C-alpha cells in the first residue's frame, strides 16, 4: 500500500525523501517494465505520479492526466486501486530509486521502488553449414545467472527446440559493460574455434568467461555436448 513519507514533500517541492518502505522491480535493457503501486481506499480520485531523487519539479517523470510522456506511460486502475507506470526501452541509467506518489493536501503519500536493470547479450554462433546456435545471455550484478537459449534451424528440415541452462554462482563485483564485452568476444572466439575443429560447443564456457574466482564459483551446470 501507499506509505507516507517522513518529509513534507510533494511533486512541486524539493528535499530528501525517507521513511517509505518499498519494493524491488527488475527489467532488461531495451525492453519494457511495469512499476505498479497500490493505494488505499478513498484515493481513487487523487493524482498519481512517478518521480526520482527528491521528487522536485524536474524529478517527476509522469503523472496521471498525461497518459504518455517520452518513454513513460501511466494507467490508474481505480477499481483495483493500482497505478501502473510503464517504462519503455530500458537503459542502464534507469537503475535506481523511484517514488510512487499520490498528491494530496499536506504530506503526499509515497512508496519507494528500487529498479534494477539487467543486461542482455545476444550471440549467434555458426557451428556447421546451415546450423546456427542463438544465445540469449541474461545476467545482473549480484548473484549472476546465465540463461542460454538454443535454437537450431536447417535448410532441408527445420527443427526448433529450446534448451535453458542456468549457471548460478556468487560474484561480489562485476565490472559492468567491460565484462559483457569480454564475455561476447571470448564466447565468439570459442564458437569459431569449435567450428574450425568441427567440434560441438561445450557450454561450460559460461563458467570460464565471467572470470569468477574458484572460491566464488558454485556451478550447477555439468559439461554437455550436442552432436549433429
Residue 222: inside a domain? no
Q: Mean pLDDT over residues 86-100, rounded?
A: 94
- Same domain as 8, residue 110: yes
Residue 130 CA, distance from chain mean position: 32
Cβ burial of 46 (10 Å; 0-12, 13-18, 19+) is: middle
Statement: residue 154 has pLDDT above 60: no
Closest by CA position to 163, among listed 184, 123, 136, 126: 136
Residues 47-61: pLDDT tens digits? 999 999 888 888 999
Alpha carbon distance 200, 2 (integer Å)? 54
Q: Are residues 150 and 104 in the same domain?
A: no
Judge whether 226 lies within some domain.
no
In terms of domains, do 8 and 99 share one? yes
Residue the block writes with cell 560474484:
171
In a domain, 135, yes or no: yes
Judgement on whether residues 7 and 71 belong to the same structural domain of the protein = yes
Model pTM score: 0.52
Counting residues of the chain whose pLDDT is more than 90, the rounded percentage is: 33
Question: Do 108 and 136 lie in a common domain?
Answer: no
CATH number at residue 86: 2.60.40.10
123 located within any domain: no
Q: Note whether 175 and 158 are within 8 A (CB).
A: no
Residue 26 lies in a domain: yes
CA distances from 126 to 95, 143, 190, 200 (A): 34, 30, 11, 11
Residue 181 lies in a domain: yes
Asked if residue 195 belongs to a domain, the reply is yes
Separation of alpha carbons 38 and 102, rounded Å: 10
Residue 148 vs residues 25, 128, 207: alpha-carbon distances, Å: 23, 19, 12
pLDDT band at 121 (very low <50, low <70, confident <90, very high): low
Final residue of a structural domain among 94, 117, 140: 117
| DSSP run (H or E) holding 178 | helix 177-196
The count of structural domains within the chain is: 2
Domain range for residue 182? 129-209
Amino acid at each position: 500500500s501507499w506509505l507516507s513519507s517522513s518529509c513534507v514533500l510533494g511533486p512541486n517541492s524539493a528535499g530528501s525523501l525517507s521513511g517509505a518502505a518499498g519494493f524491488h522491480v527488475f527489467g532488461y535493457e531495451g525492453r519494457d517494465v511495469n512499476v505498479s503501486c497500490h493505494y488505499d481506499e478513498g484515493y481513487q480520485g487523487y493524482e498519481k505520479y512517478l518521480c526520482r531523487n527528491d521528487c522536485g519539479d524536474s524529478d517527476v517523470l509522469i503523472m496521471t492526466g498525461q497518459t504518455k510522456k517520452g518513454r513513460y506511460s501511466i494507467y490508474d486502475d481505480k477499481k483495483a486501486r493500482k497505478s501502473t507506470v510503464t517504462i519503455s526501452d530500458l537503459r542502464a541509467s534507469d537503475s535506481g530509486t523511484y517514488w510512487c506518489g499520490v498528491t494530496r493536501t499536506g504530506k503526499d503519500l509515497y512508496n519507494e521502488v528500487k529498479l534494477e536493470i539487467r543486461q542482455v547479450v545476444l550471440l549467434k554462433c555458426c557451428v556447421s553449414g546451415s546450423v546456427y546456435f542463438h544465445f540469449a545471455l541474461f545476467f545482473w550484478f549480484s548473484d549472476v545467472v546465465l540463461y542460454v537459449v538454443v535454437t537450431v534451424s536447417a535448410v532441408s528440415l527445420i527443427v526448433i527446440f529450446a534448451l535453458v541452462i542456468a549457471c548460478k554462482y556468487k560474484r561480489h563485483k562485476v565490472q559492468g559493460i567491460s565484462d559483457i564485452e569480454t564475455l561476447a568476444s571470448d564466447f565468439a572466439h570459442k564458437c569459431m574455434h569449435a567450428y574450425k575443429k568441427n567440434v560441438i560447443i561445450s557450454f561450460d564456457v559460461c563458467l570460464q568467461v565471467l572470470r569468477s574466482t574458484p572460491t566464488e564459483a558454485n556451478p550447477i551446470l555439468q559439461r554437455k555436448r550436442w552432436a549433429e
